[in-house]
Structure 1
Amino acid sequence: MTSTPTITLSAEIVAQHIDHTLLKPEATAADVTALIIEAIELGTYSICVSPSMLPLTIPAGSDLKVAVVCGFPSGKHHSAIKAAEAALSIEQGADEVDMVIDIGAVKAGRFTDVQADIATVRASVPAPKVLKVIIESAALTDAEIVGVCQASVAAGADFVKTSTGFHPAGGATVHAVRLMKQTVGDRAEVKASGGVRTFDDALAMIEAGATRLGVSGSAALLSGSTSAVPTGTY
């Protein structure tokens, strides 16, 4: 999945790249409360949860951001439904929305439709709120990755993101992250998500161009341990 990184960063700096994530269907309100506490202790940039968990209370004095998913995990929702879901999430306090595109539209070469889908959600996530576009890179060819990244930028997305972590094709790879960054340049940022389980994974993704990481096992990753990192819960 990753190459050996050549950069060296402290755990504190890597933590500031992390969206501390809990998207398991069985997650409870108590689980999310524990997630918030852990995220603050670890110093992660944000938490990422399902929209049904909103609204949330972030302790006073914390600058922890709240991200939610939209159209998750299949992306096969009508654009108007995605936009409504995103709008409600923003109304209920989300700082960032991670939307899933229609992967089938990409596979069919319908990039105009993909761009329109993203633009519809973007209209419900006005700046300075952040919109990330999940492209499910492991299910795409390089040409398709380039095409959907171009569509994302044209629609006004702030980030392109590799994966939901739920697709059988797999999660983030250094190759995909590097290609995504080369495509979007300075016009957007890249989030690596899905299978980022070790500290070296995190460094390799950052070195390839990711400025954000979706991680469910953040404590284990930041401690350098892999034994406690769950799989399939990104």
Structure 2
Amino acid sequence: MKYTLDDFARLIDHTNLHADATHADMKKLCYEAKKYHFKMVAINQVQSAFCSKQLAGTDIDTGAAIAFPLGQQSIASKVFDTKDAIKNGANEIDYVINITELKAKNYDYIKDEMTQMVDVCHEHHIPCKVIFENCYLTKDEIKKMAEIAKEVKPDFIKTSTGFGTSGAKVEDVKLMKSVVGDTVQVKAAGGIRNSDDFLAMVRAGATRIGCSAGVKIIEALKQRMKDDGVTSIDIKTEY
């Protein structure tokens, strides 16, 4: 598939999830998202109203992170926070799974949590992304989570919060994609800081990239295309 610069930009969830982010930081994030035509701004839930106002009248989504970054909230709390974020203008949701219950092999709990989160998002016609936080999971646990997702059908499964011990890995993206196929999309996030890493994730099957280095990445791809005298880059997936 051939990607133009704008196609690449529309893969990016432009991210600022830092606890000390100021209103000025949020304004800058939204300004950059509009300037580069990113798909979404990824922010903490409490910033939903502020950012949705900044992005009003654009096709850039406001993505609220739920139970971030630990996932250690009850299902009821996650559902409540999701509804609150939507009420305040969020139109995409990324939530962190309960890793404790996954480690306990309580797959019914994981499925119930995912089902309730997907249902509330889809009731409002917005995407739901499930954050696995792969750095804490075995390959078998990643595979099991992907199998549950294939059945429940969230819009995306996501590698990482970016706040764990490591971020997205190409082999994990390929594994996740190999399980869900075309049923669910894969989002890579965490530690993606340059254009080479970005392209590697796309080749591995990611159709959304969460990162705080989106401006740097798009500028590098723009220069690469200029140097090569092309207006698009052909990406062949490897999964």
Q: Helix, strand or coil: the match of 2:112? A: helix
Task: Tell me, yes or no, if structure 1 residue 15 matches structure 2 residue 12.
Answer: no
Identity %: 34
User: Mind listing any 5+ residue stretches in structure 2 that lack a counterpart?
Assistant: 222-239
1:123: Cα distance to partner?
2.7
Match of 1:102 among 98, 103, 107: 98
Q: Helix, strand or coil: the match of 1:164? A: coil
Q: Distance in 2 between matches of 1:153 and 1:131?
A: 13
Q: Which residue identity does 1:152 align to in structure 2?
A: A
Q: Which residue identity does 2:69 align to in structure 1?
A: P
Alignment of 1:74-223 (within 5 A): 74-127=70-123, 128-168=125-165, 170-223=166-219
- Do the aligned partners of 2:27 and 2:54 also contact (CA within 8 Å) in 1? no
Aligned to 2:29: 35
- Do the aligned partners of 1:14 and 1:202 also contact (CA within 8 Å) in 2? no
State the TM-score, normalized to the length of structure 1. Answer: 0.88
Which whole-Å deviations, capped at 9, do the CAs of 1:30-83 have from their partners, x for residues lacking one? 211111111111111111101111213144542111111001110010000000
Q: Distance in 1 between matches of 2:129 and 2:115?
A: 12
Q: Helix, strand or coil: the match of 1:211? A: strand
Q: Distance in 1 between matches of 2:135 and 2:142?
A: 9
User: Mind listing any 5+ residue stretches in structure 1 that lack a counterpart?
Assistant: 1-6, 226-234
- Do the aligned partners of 2:9 and 2:38 also contact (CA within 8 Å) in 1? yes
Q: Helix, strand or coil: the match of 1:68? A: strand
Q: Distance in 1 between matches of 2:111 and 2:55?
A: 37
Task: Tell me, yes or no, if structure 1 residue 48 matches structure 2 residue 42.
Answer: yes
Which whole-Å deviations, capped at 9, do the CAs of 1:81-138 have from their partners, x for residues lacking one? 0000001111111111000001122222222211111112223212521100000112
Q: Distance in 2 between matches of 1:98 and 1:189?
A: 13
Q: Distance in 1 between matches of 2:172 and 2:74?
A: 27
Moved segments of 4+, more than 3 Å = 7-11, 58-61
RMSD of aligned C-alpha atoms?
1.6
1:17: Cα distance to partner?
0.2
Aligned to 2:230: none
